[in-house]
Amino acid sequence: MNAVAEKLQPVLIVIGAIWAVEVVNLFTGHSLVSLGIQPRTLSGLVGIPIAPLIHGGFWHTISNTVPMVILGSLTLAGGRKHFWEITLGIAVVSGVLVWLFARDAHHVGASGVVFGYFGAILARAFIERSPIAIVIAFVTVIIYGSLIWGVLPLWSYVSFESHLFGLVAGVFLVWLTNSAQRNSDV
C-alpha cells in the first residue's frame, strides 16, 4: 500500500463499504433501500446504522463518493480516532434524529455524513481556533460552501432532513468532544 493510500485508509474503508453495498444493491434491484431509516417505525430503527451505506442508485452513490473522499480526508486531518468517532457519531446521531423527526420515507445515503463532516470541520475551527483547523475550514467553505442549500426542503426526492441532522450532529459531536476534553484537563 502506498503512503497516500495508507494515510487515507479510514476514508477508503468507508468508500469501499459504500460501493460494496451498492454492488449488492444493484444486483437486488436496489431492494436494500427498504432497509433505510423509516421514521417512527420499529423496522426503521435498523436503518440508523446502515442507511449511510445504502444508496438509491449508481448516480446517488457517485454523488456522495466525491464529497465523502474530500470532506472525509479533511476530517481525517484530526487523526484516525477523531475520524472514526465523528463518522460513527454522525451516522448514529443524525440517524436517530431522522428516525424521530423526518417525514415518512425511506431515508438512505451518505449525504448525512457528508453534511456532518462539513459541520464538524467548521465547528472544529470555531471551537479550537487552531491555525490548521481554520485553514481546513476555509478550504472546506471554498469548495463546499454551497452545500448549505442542501438543508432546505427544495426537492421532494432529497432527504433534506438527513442533511440538516447530519450538519447538526457534526457540530454537536465536535462541541461534545471538546467539552469533554476541557473537563478532563481540569
**Can you give the residue ranges of every domain in the chain?**
3-185
> In 3D, which of 26, 113, 121, 13 has the Cα closest to residue 64?
113
> In 3D, which of 83, 63, 62 has the Cα closest to residue 9?
83
Domain 3-185: which CATH number of 1.20.810.10, 1.10.10.10, 3.30.110.30, 1.20.1540.10: 1.20.1540.10
The percent of residues above 90 in pLDDT, for the chain, comes to: 88
pLDDT in tens, 129-172: 999 999 999 999 999 999 889 999 998 889 999 999 999 999 99
| Residue 128 · residue 178 · CB < 8 Å | yes
Report the pLDDT value the prediction gives residue 1, as an integer from 0 to 100. Answer: 62
pLDDT in tens, 66-109: 999 999 999 999 999 999 999 999 999 999 999 999 999 999 99
If phi > 0 it is left, if psi is from -120 to 50 it is alpha, else beta; for residue 39 that is: beta
Rounded to whole angstroms, how far apart are CA atoms 12 and 31?
Answer: 25
> In 3D, which of 138, 127, 129 has the Cα closest to residue 174?
127
Task: Enter the C-alpha cell of residue 110.
Answer: 451518505
